[in-house]
Structure 1
Amino acid sequence: MKMIDQYVYAVTKYLPADSREDVGKELRANIEDMLPDEPTEDEVYQVLKKLGSPIKLADEYIPQKRYLIGPGYYDRYIMTLKTVIGICIVVFISLEMISWISNPEITDSLSGYLAGMISGLISAVLEGAIQGALWVTLVFVILEKTGIESGDIPILNKKWSPDELKDMSVQGNNRITRGETVISLFMTVLFTALLYFKPHLIALYLKGESGNTEIFPLFQSDRLRIYIPVILLFTVLQLGMFIGKFMKGYWNRPLSAANAAYNMASCILIAVMLTDKLLFNQEFFTRMALYLNETPKHYMALWENRIIWVILGIFVVIAVWDSIAVWIKGFGKKG
C-alpha cells in the first residue's frame, strides 16, 4: 500500500546509504507481519502509528550512536554546510573588498599594500567559513537533539502520526526551488555581516576638499550594538527556515506559518530601529542635507515625517505579499 511505501521511505532516508535496502526489506516484512492478510487503510494507519516516528525508528537501526550530527541528517548537513559556507565566504570577501576600496590603507610600498590586501582576504575567507560552519552546525544540533523534524515535539505535547507521511514527489507551485532559498539566505547573511562586522560601510561617501573620500556612517555604533543580539537571533531563525525549506522541498502549513511570523517580527524590528533617533548618526543627515542643498533641519523633518514611513511601508508591503503568497502555496500541505 502507498502508506507503507511512504513510511518505509521515510525511515530509510535517515539511514546510511549502504544499509537502506536491507532495512527497507526488513521493515516492510515486519509491517506486513503486523497486519492481516487484506488490511484496510485504517489498520495500516494504526500499525504505523504504533511504530511511531520514522526518524526515531531509523535511529534504532543505527548500531553506533555517538555523533553530534546523526546519519539521518548528515547528508543534508554536509550539503547545507557547503552552501552556507560558500555564501558566507562570498559575502565576507565582498565586504573586505568594499572596505579596501572605500578606505584603502596607505603603505610605503606596493608589496606592503598587496600583503595587507591578501592577508585581509584570507582573514575574510576564514572568518566566513567559521561563521557559516558554526551557525549551520548549531541549527542541525538543535534539530538532532530536539526531534523537531521527527514529529514528536515534547514542548508542544505533540506526537507523530501517519498523517504526516507525504508523497515525496512534490508537484505544483508549492515547490521550493534551491535558488530562492539561496538568494534569501545570501541577503540575510549580507545584511547581518554588514551590521555586525562592518556597519561603517553603510555610509555617505563624499569627496573632501583635499580630494580624499570622507565617510559619514549612517549608524551610531554604540547604539547599534544594542540591536546586534536580536539581529543575530533573526539570522539564526532565517538559517533554520532555510534548512527547513531545503529539507522539505515544498511549502507546507508549518513552514508558511513560520515564514509569516518571521516577516511580521522583522517588520516590528525594522519599525523599532527606524524610529530610534539615537541609532542614527546626525552627521550623516547633516552632510546629506548639504549635499542636496537642503537645510539640515528641513531634511531631518523630511526623514522623520516621510522617509521613515515610506521605507517601513515598503517593507510591510513586501512582507505581507510574501506571507500571503507563501501561505497560498503551503495551504494545501498539512504536514
Structure 2
Amino acid sequence: MTATTTLTERYISATIRSLAPEMQDDVRAELEAAIADAVDARIEIGEDPESAERSALTALGDPGILAAGYAERPLHLIGPRYYLTWWRLLKLLLAIVPICVLGAVALGQALANAPVGEIISSSILAAGGTILHLCFWTTLVFVILERSGTDTGVKWDVDQLPEAADDGVGRNELIASLVFLGLAVGALLWDRFRGFVVIDGEALPILNPGLWPWGIAVLALIIIAEAVFAVVLYRHRGWSVGFAVVNTVLALAFLAWVGVLLLSGDLVNPDFLAHIVTAGGEGFAAGDAEAADEGGIFRILAVLLGFGIALGVGWDIVDGWIKTARRRRA
C-alpha cells in the first residue's frame, strides 16, 4: 500500500466511522469516486500524484464536517430555528430569577439576624449559582430540542410586535409625579398635626415626632428636589445619562434617609409601637416572644419595610436607566 493510497483511505475512514452502518458502503464508494476524479483532474494539469491527492483531500475539508453533512447532523448547539426563542427566554429568566433569589436570600438572612458580611456573601453566591444553573439547564433543554427536532410550539405573528416605547416624560407622567409628591407632603403634615391614629381625642403620630424639624426637613428637601427634577425632565422632553444619574442620586438619598432611621430605630414613634403592643394583648406579646431570636416582631417588620422600600427605589433607578437607553437608541 503506497503512502498516497494510505492517505486516501485514512480520509475515507475518518469520514464514515461516525455514520450509520447502512450508510458507510455507499458513502465510501461515493468518496472513492469523487477523490479519484479530483486527483485525475489535478494530474492532468501537471501536478504530481502525491501533491494532487493531498490537494484534493484538503479541498474536501474536515472529514467530521463532511460526515455531518451526509448524516444531516447539526454542528451547532442551537440553530436558527430555536436560537431566538432560547435567547429571549434566557434573557427573561436572567432578568427576573437571580434578582428574586438574591432578594429572598438577603431577606431570610436579615430576618435571621445574620451579620452584614454573611448576608452579602450568601446573597451573591446564591444569585451567582442561580445564573449558572439558568444558563446551563435552559441551554441544555434547547440543545435537546435541536437534536430531536421537537417543535417548541412558539409561532410568531404580528400581535407580538412591541408597543412603542414610552420615555416617561409626558404631561401625564409629570402630573402623576407631582400629585404623588404632594400626597407624600400632605401625609407627613397630617400624621404630625391631625394623626392617622387618634387615642382619646389626641393624635398619635406614626413617625417619630423627634424627626421634626430637622429630620423631616431633610426628607422635605428630597421631595422638593424630586419635584424640581420631574419638571426639568418634562421640559427637556427626554431622558439622558445626566438625568439618570440625578434620578439615581435622589433615589439613593431617600433610601439612605429611611435606612439610617430604620437601623437606629428612630423612624417610628415609640409611643405608637407601645400602643400596638397594648392593643395586641397577650397574643401579640406571645408572638413577639417567639420571634425574640430574630429581634422581635417589630424588627422583623422593620426589615420587611426596609426591603420593600429598597425594592421600590431599585426599580425607580433601573426604570430611569432603561428609559435613558431607549432614548439613546432612538
Q: TM-score range by the shorter chain?
A: 0.3 to 0.5
TM-score relative to the length of structure 2: 0.42
Could you say which structure has the higher helix fraction? 2
Specify the structure having the higher radius of gyration (Cα): 2
TM-score relative to the length of structure 1: 0.42
